[in-house]
Structure 1
Amino acid sequence: MTYQTSEPSNRPRVPRWVVLSAIGVAVLVIVVVVMMLVSGGEHGPGRHGGSDHPHTSVTHAPSTGHVPPSGAHG
């Protein structure tokens, strides 16, 4: 005995790749949201330096007297 519905479905089925893609995108969005909540939503260069190193500008070493060859920056 087979199970049959009282009304046949005339709608076309959604392709499997569409369903799997939608599930994959939903999982990715959930992972990104959870990561943002865990990290406190902070972003930018200060995030990579750690909390014990305040953001500082780049300092250059004192000149050693090096002179580039002529025509190097011309």
Structure 2
Amino acid sequence: MEGLVCCFAEDALVNDQLSEYSGKPEIVDRAMRDIIAENLTLFVLREVTSYNNSNLTVEVDGDSTSVDCRNHWY
């Protein structure tokens, strides 16, 4: 988890599936609930940086029983 958290600035903003999470505490809470607790793995396929913003395209995989991981791209 620490490796994931250190990737974000204190005032980071994550927009995932049209939901926004701002600041490390909110991002960590979301990651614990929706990624770590669901045993998901994110594979970065593409990263584009523009004006100090990074946009990632990731493939989601894992063994979650409550999330259908097949062919999910974000």
Q: TM-score range by the shorter chain?
A: under 0.3
Q: What TM-score results when the alignment is normalised by the length of structure 1?
A: 0.24
Q: What TM-score results when the alignment is normalised by the length of structure 2?
A: 0.24
Higher relative contact order (CA 8 A, sep 6+): 2
Which has the greater radius of gyration?
Answer: 1
